[in-house]
Structure 1
């Protein structure tokens, strides 16, 4: 009789090609590419005279460097020379090696971690890699998805495999249900505040429990996206009826009899009863409040009605030092409530929170209201198709009427690698995934939060709970 296995164990064993000195050669089902981490990999292939092993198993997107206005001009319209060169290189390399590329201006294009699921390329039981840390997003479908480095990108292109050392198993079970107006981003920040940025180091997380099963696919992607911020190699959620309903009918998903066969295979992707996890944590969804970050890593977060922590009250010396540095950079005073902190900018977008559900939430908050006069607010859809759907639903009209800029898809302000960046000293409410020093622009100060909180903060002109708008 076989031992009980976790979902992670099952996917790993299914894709193991060979073992060597503690490492495993894994077959890769889907390789997602973008313009920043692929040029050197393609150059390495060309220099060695190698071809791409399985071009059909790759999909390329332009997202990090693209401007969020004027994309119809293509790479030629990008002002920054280095960014333009990377975008042009992706077009040339994918054409040379026969890889599908949704280039700038293609309505199917957008952020790689939005487009992969949207196109049905991300499916349960797959191994998925990309030269981007937030590849963990795709684990929402019950896929083993993780970021890789540029040299590994070249290896996957050449061999359709990757060498990995197996992580340990970790389960985070969330009981109960999230309260109304509490979202997946709040849950993720709550978990981060509880376990820290290295709380899942060396592990793959499986999220489980009633609160997880109640999440939509968009919400599951938000949660899995932030797994990497907890130190995890990847995050997983077992596929279920919610996953299958999202996937059915998407371009790359099997149809007819093949769909029925796929469902049988996907339904078997669940952790066996009695499977042992190396770490097993439990949380109560009732404890989760609307959350906002106060520091310079995503675990430095509190409930929106809480006070900014005092470093002097922290027992660990390293934690005290890190908190003091974060508060100095963020120009915040310990003991003050985080709500009411004045803002300059509001950004709704990124691979964490730029899907249609996120935009609907923001629109519901701002409908009939106006952005505070001193706030510059922008919404950047995660893909061209999300943008089209939002426009068809009238979401863009609601956001524009409130005073938001309505942009074209891309990573935008999340990475500060394009024209959308903070100026020194500007304070921004952002739905993105990282609040590191200088992340969104040199000297910029970032507060991570949900689309609901960001929308409410844009209206109030300061960090604000939607409930405070009346």
Structure 2
């Protein structure tokens, strides 16, 4: 019987396996940031242990950093303390840190791929649930808890049970204005925020194959939002071309050997999956969420479901979510006023996202009632955007380009959405208070977010697509 892509990679990294016990899995690269690493380093100190392989640990500051005036001391005391502790810990344990001011600083799941650290066939972990992003390269990548961060720092290995395998196929041609974010929000809306629990998900089909690497990263990033352990996509020429020539990508003969191996990384035709789901790309329209988990999503032209149509056992939590969001049964979201638009996060803050938004907003201006934050995912993305003149386009449209960080994806820094305000966000979670205490979040694609910023209300991007300059969006 053939093997799945997941099993090929997993088996190549098992150090030890025993019946009835988790496998000991070797980790190729361990990403760390300021939020989930301090207790792990304290654990090493208590036990008198060094970091076992510091060269395979990559550190950056992202969650707590401000996105204005990064050359100045951080204002929030807790944020400043956590970033300072990361600096201290990395210096003490010999770990390279891409901190504020470093040309490689940025969101951990953006810098790994753009630096060529993330590669096909590897294993990657981080104390952050959206580590699944790296699976877009044909790798096993998942988030871990603080005690596991300590375990990997001490041993470069992890005790881990093998998950079940799921394949999700998407085939067909997407409508204009529909992109990777809409695909994954659509899938989650169909299978629920728990539909992938216990699985490693491989995304396949010609629609997935047609996506750029940045689109594939968006898909894999949100695997955790359906409860999956990780998500991955088999590498192909798109993958190889993306990695080639990057800062830490293999060079010369090492590159040739790496590519030869990467070309073996696919699920065999007779590989068995525990679950297989299929979707038609033509059924997907621009998506938006209306509730307090990413599974509560609808096409932008649809109405919010009525409580009576929800399973009886789920009705109390459904009602609670609608009350929190200030939304009524069967209400349309199209045309609903918004207060903030956030374009950023590890889901949608790469240069491709910014280029797409800049192309759309050029010659337009945001609505007066909307505050817009455009936050690049890394220093390299920021500098590229400036070289291409995107910052000038954004500035003219009232979309100021900020400095890199996690920003308004989560309420751990200065970029918080005020209580009761609505934000159309390109991030990955719409939990209660995620973007700030009592804030209200609509998850959407960069194009939907940009269109909503221009009109001041939740907008169907397709309304603009009759205009010739947007015909290819």
Give the TM-score normalised by the residue count of structure 2. Answer: 0.97
Could you tell me which residue of structure 2 aligns to residue 181 of structure 1? 177
1:298 to 2:294 alignment: yes
**Once the 2 structures are TM-superposed, how far is the Cα of residue 196 of structure 1 from its aligned partner?**
0.4
Preserved CA contact (<8 Å) 2:391 2:400 = no
Preserved CA contact (<8 Å) 1:177 1:214 = no
Distance in 1 of aligned mates of 2:101 and 2:6: 37
Q: For each residue in 1:95-124, what CA deviation from the matched residue of structure 2 results, as whole angstroms up to 9, or x when unmatched?
A: 111111100111211100000001110010
Aligned partner (choices 282, 286, 292) of residue 286 of structure 1: 282
Aligned partner (choices 325, 328, 332) of residue 327 of structure 2: 332
| Counterpart secondary structure, 2:17 | strand
Distance in 2 of aligned mates of 1:215 and 1:406: 26
Distance in 2 of aligned mates of 1:331 and 1:210: 39
Preserved CA contact (<8 Å) 1:305 1:339 = yes
Higher mean C-alpha deviation, range 271-280 or range 331-340: 331-340
**Once the 2 structures are TM-superposed, how far is the Cα of residue 319 of structure 1 from its aligned partner?**
2.6
| Counterpart secondary structure, 1:468 | helix
Could you tell me which residue of structure 1 aligns to residue 303 of structure 2? 307
Q: How does 1:204-283 map to 2 (within 5 A)?
A: 204-283=200-279
Give the TM-score normalised by the residue count of structure 1. Answer: 0.98
Q: For each residue in 1:364-391, what CA deviation from the matched residue of structure 2 results, as whole angstroms up to 9, or x when unmatched?
A: 1211111000111110000000001011
1:462 to 2:457 alignment: yes
Aligned partner (choices 394, 401, 409) of residue 406 of structure 1: 401
Q: Which runs of 5+ in 1 are unaligned?
A: none
1:111 to 2:110 alignment: no
| Counterpart secondary structure, 2:454 | helix
Could you tell me which residue of structure 1 aligns to residue 343 of structure 2? 348
Aligned partner (choices 315, 340, 354) of residue 320 of structure 1: 315
Preserved CA contact (<8 Å) 1:197 1:230 = yes
Q: Which runs of 5+ in 2 are unaligned?
A: 468-473
**Once the 2 structures are TM-superposed, how far is the Cα of residue 468 of structure 1 from its aligned partner?**
2.4
Distance in 2 of aligned mates of 1:409 and 1:460: 26
1:394 to 2:379 alignment: no
Number of aligned positions between the proteins: 464
Distance in 2 of aligned mates of 1:30 and 1:318: 43
**RMSD (Å) for aligned C-alpha atoms:** 0.9
Distance in 1 of aligned mates of 2:5 and 2:104: 31
| Counterpart secondary structure, 1:172 | strand
Preserved CA contact (<8 Å) 2:176 2:462 = no
